[in-house]
Amino acid sequence: MTYTRKNAWDDNNGGQFTNTDGSYTDLYWYAKGVQVMQARPISDPTSWWFYAAIHGQYLINNSGSGSAPLEYPNWKKVEYIPSSANLGTPPPPKQTDLFWDQCQHQSWFFPPWHRGYLVAFENILRNIIVEQLGGNSEWALPYWNYLNQSTTYQEYKIPTAFTLETLPDGTPNPLFVRERFGPNGDSNVYIVVGDQQDGTQADDECQYDKTYTGTSKSGGYGGGKTGFNHSGNFSITGGLEMNPHNWVHNMVGGLNSEPLSYSGTEMVVQANQPWQTTGIDIVKDGETVFIGISTDRNAPTKWTADPQDNNGGLYDANGSPDIIVSADQPLYPMVGVPMGALIGRVGGGTPFLIGTGAVVPNDTIGLLELCINDDLTGAYGAGLTDNQGAITVQFTPTPSEEFEGLMADPGLAGLDPIFFLHHANIDRMWTAWNVTGENSNPTSADPNGADWLAGPSANGNSQFAMPVDSDGTPWYYKPADVQSTMNLKYYNNVLYSYTYNDLSLTSYDKQPSASGLAKRLNKLRGINNVTEATVAMHTSNELVGSSNNSIVLNSGATKTEVKIDADSWGLVANSLAQKSIDTIPDEVYLQLENVTGTNNSNFLSVYVNNILVGAVSLFGIRIASMQNTAHGGSGLTFKFNISDIVDDLYIAGNIDIDSLNVSIRTKKPLPKGSIITVGRISVYRSGQ
C-alpha cells in the first residue's frame, strides 16, 4: 500500500473540513485525530504534547533547550496547552533523554530527521483515525504548498480549516491556534511570496541546487556535514532549510504586535514638501511606533534633495551617500546627518533621524510629522523646488512584550498543528528534488556520504528515535532508512511507502536565477564569449576584513564599517585583474558571526555599500543562543556571497578600498527589551 499525501487546499475542497458531497476531508480527520492526541497527558509518548517536545520544548531542564525560561515561552505559560496535558507530570528522564529536543537544524540531517518524525506521527494519527474514529483507512497527512500559484485558491494563505474556531460537530477546533500571528503580527496568516525590496520573500529557488551537501561556501540543498561539533561556527544550513523552511516558520508564527488603528498603514512622504503629518498622535510613555520603509515593490522608495548630487541618481531614505549637512547650515532641520535622509518630529519638537527605520521617541506628546532633511525654506538655494521622488513608509506598533507565535520558535513549533502540514510540504519538495529534479542524496561513494547515511551516531551523537506506541517503544532510524519515501524502513524493518500527488520540482520559481562563473567572467572581461564554466575547487578560505567590535542591532537599520586588510585584499584584487578561466577570480563572502538574541520571528536584510546582498530568518536564534545546547551559546552564523559587488567595484576602478559599509536592517522592530547582537561581521576570500 502506498499512501498519498494530498494538497490541503486543492484536495480538501479549498482547505475545508467537508467536501461538496458532505463527506469529510483529510483535514477533518486530521483535526479529529489531533483532538484525540491532545486529550492525552504529556507523559503519554503518543500524546500531542510529547510529540511536540520531540521537536523541542521549554518545559524541563533537559538536553537541548537548557534551562527552561520561567516566563513565556515556558510551556506552562502557553495558553494553547490545556490543563489536561498535565505538564506538571512530565515523562521519566529515561524517555525525555531519548526522545525530546531532537530537531535537527543547521545540519545536513534536517531533511531525513524531519521525514522520520512525520512518518511516526502520521502512523500514530492514522491508527487513531481508523481504529478509534472509524475514518478513512487511506488517510495521509495533507501538505500546505504555500508557493502554489493556483488561480482557484489563494494557497499562500493558511488553509481555512486552521482559522475556524469550531469543527462541523461543534467541538473546539484544535487546528485553531491563537498564538499564530502571521507576517504582520495581526493574526492574518499568510506567506509572503513575490519579490520584496528587502529580500524577505519565500521562494523555492533551492530546488535548482544540484548538490545535497553544503560546503564552506554554499549551504547546498540539504546542509553541510554535521560532525561531532555543532556550534554556530561549524554548522552550515542548507537551502531547503533556509528558504522556504525557516521563512515560513517565521511568517506563520510572527510576533503579536497588539494591532492599533495605524498598524501596517502606509504613507507616501514627498521629497518636495516640508513637514507632512502622519495623523498619528504620540502619547507620552504610551505605545511605541516604529517607522519602516514599505517593502511593496511597486511603492516609491527613492528620492533626492538635489538632482546635482549622486550623479543625478535618486537614493533611499538614508539620504545622500556623499553629503552630510554641515553645522554652518542651521536652517536644515538636522545637521550632522545626511542631506536627503528621512526625518521626523513629534509635536513640532526636535527632529530625529529615521533613515530606513526608527522607533519614534515617546517622551513627548503630539502629532508625528515626517519630511526630507533638506533646506526646507530655500535659505541656501533652490530649497525643495528641485527635489524629486518620494518614500513610502509603514507604521507598526512596537510590541510591549516579547510574544512570539508558536511556529517562530523550534521549542514551541511542534505544538501548532500547521507545523506538520508545513513539514509535509518541505518533505514533498525534498522528494521532488530527488525524483523530478533527478538529484541524489549523499551516497556511500561520496566523500563523507557514509557518515550521512549512518546518521549522527557515525560521529558519536545520539541516533534518531521516535516513539511508536504509548509505552514509548522507540523506532531508531538513520538517514539511509528514510532516503526515499518508497519502501522506507519503518519500525521493526517494516517497509512503508507514501508519495505526494504533486511532485513538480518547483511551484513558484520557474527558472534558476542566473549565476555562475561564466556570467562573472563575461562581466569582468566586458565580453560575452564564455558560455560554460564551472566553479573550480578553491583551496583556501581566508579572512580579509572584519568589524572592530560586536554590533548591537537597532530596530530598523544599523550601519557599521567593516575594515579591509590591505595585504589580504591585494590577493582579491590580483585575482580579479587576471580573470581567466585558468586563474579563477576569488569569491568574496560577508559573514555575520555569532548572531545571538531571542527574537526568532524577525528577519535581517543585509546591505553592502547600500546594495541588498540577502536576507535571513532568525528562526531558532533563542535556542542557538542558550549556553547549554549543542550550539554552546554561539548563536547563528550567516554567510552572503558578495562577489558581484566586488566585481562592480573592480569594473568601476574602485577596487582599492579600506572598508565596506554594511547595513543590517531588522524587518520588524525589536520587541521591547529584546537585544540582537552580531558578534562580528567579517569578509572572507575564497581562492587559490
Q: Which residues bind other proteins (CB under 8 A)?
A: 61-63, 66-67, 216-217, 224, 228-231, 233-234, 236, 444, 450-451, 454, 457-461, 538-546, 548-550, 563, 565, 567-568, 589, 591, 593-594, 627-630, 632-634, 639, 679-680, 682, 684, 686
What does the block give as the cell for 378?
A: 530655500
Nearer to other proteins (CB atom), residue 22 or residue 92? 92
Shortest distance (Å) from residue 272 CB to other proteins = 45
Shortest distance (Å) from residue 55 CB to other proteins = 17
Nearer to other proteins (CB atom), residue 63 or residue 661? 63
Other C-beta atoms closer than 10 Å to the C-beta of 45 total: 24
Nearer to other proteins (CB atom), residue 299 or residue 571? 571
The DSSP 8-state label assigned to residue 444 in this structure reads: T
As a whole number of angstroms, the distance between CA 490 and CA 423 comes to: 19
As a whole number of angstroms, the distance between CA 12 and CA 75 comes to: 32
Longest dimension (CA), the chain: 84
As a whole number of angstroms, the distance between CA 326 and CA 662 comes to: 24
Shortest distance (Å) from residue 445 CB to other proteins = 10
Shortest distance (Å) from residue 46 CB to other proteins = 26
Q: Residue with C-alpha cell 559587488?
A: 645
Q: For residues 191 and 182, is the Cβ–Cβ distance under 8 A?
A: no
Sign of CA dihedral 29, 34, 35, 37: positive
Shortest distance (Å) from residue 453 CB to other proteins = 9
Shortest distance (Å) from residue 314 CB to other proteins = 35
The DSSP 8-state label assigned to residue 232 in this structure reads: T
Shortest distance (Å) from residue 420 CB to other proteins = 27
Shortest distance (Å) from residue 542 CB to other proteins = 5
Nearer to other proteins (CB atom), residue 226 or residue 318? 226
Shortest distance (Å) from residue 545 CB to other proteins = 7
Q: For residues 670 and 403, is the Cβ–Cβ distance under 8 A?
A: no
Nearer to other proteins (CB atom), residue 161 or residue 458? 458
As a whole number of angstroms, the distance between CA 586 and CA 72 comes to: 46
The three-class DSSP label of residue 641 is strand
Nearer to other proteins (CB atom), residue 461 or residue 470? 461
Q: Is 482 exposed, middle or buried (0-12, 13-18, 19+ CB in 10 A)?
A: buried
Nearer to other proteins (CB atom), residue 226 or residue 256? 226
As a whole number of angstroms, the distance between CA 235 and CA 660 comes to: 26
Shortest distance (Å) from residue 585 CB to other proteins = 17
Q: Where are the alpha helices (DSSP H) in 70-228?
A: 93-99, 110-127
Shortest distance (Å) from residue 641 CB to other proteins = 11
Beta carbons within 8 Å of 328's beta carbon, 6+ residues apart:
none
Nearer to other proteins (CB atom), residue 333 or residue 455? 455
Nearer to other proteins (CB atom), residue 168 or residue 227? 227
556: left (phi over 0), alpha (psi -120 to 50) or beta: left
As a whole number of angstroms, the distance between CA 336 and CA 356 comes to: 17
Q: For residues 128 and 137, is the Cβ–Cβ distance under 8 A?
A: no
The three-class DSSP label of residue 562 is strand
Shortest distance (Å) from residue 630 CB to other proteins = 4
Shortest distance (Å) from residue 203 CB to other proteins = 25
Nearer to other proteins (CB atom), residue 202 or residue 606? 606
Shortest distance (Å) from residue 212 CB to other proteins = 17
Shortest distance (Å) from residue 426 CB to other proteins = 25
What does the block give as the cell for 156?
A: 499562500
The three-class DSSP label of residue 472 is coil
As a whole number of angstroms, the distance between CA 161 and CA 16 comes to: 5
Q: Residue with C-alpha cell 508545513?
A: 422
What does the block give as the cell for 420?
A: 506538520
Nearer to other proteins (CB atom), residue 200 or residue 686? 686
The DSSP 8-state label assigned to residue 76 in this structure reads: G
As a whole number of angstroms, the distance between CA 109 and CA 479 comes to: 7
Shortest distance (Å) from residue 544 CB to other proteins = 8
The DSSP 8-state label assigned to residue 25 in this structure reads: P
Nearer to other proteins (CB atom), residue 498 or residue 589? 589
Nearer to other proteins (CB atom), residue 46 or residue 104? 104
Nearer to other proteins (CB atom), residue 145 or residue 594? 594
Detail the DSSP E strand segments found in 469-546.
474-477, 488-489, 495-500, 540-546
Q: Residue with C-alpha cell 541524489?
A: 440
231-260 exposure pattern, b = at least 16 Cβ within 10 A, e = fewer = bbebbbbbbbbbbbbbbbbbbbbbbbbebe
Nearer to other proteins (CB atom), residue 312 or residue 570? 570
- Of 381, 384, 362, 365, nearest in space to 373 by CA: 384
The three-class DSSP label of residue 254 is coil
Nearer to other proteins (CB atom), residue 319 or residue 687? 687
Bridge-based pairing state of the strands 213-214 and 223-224: parallel
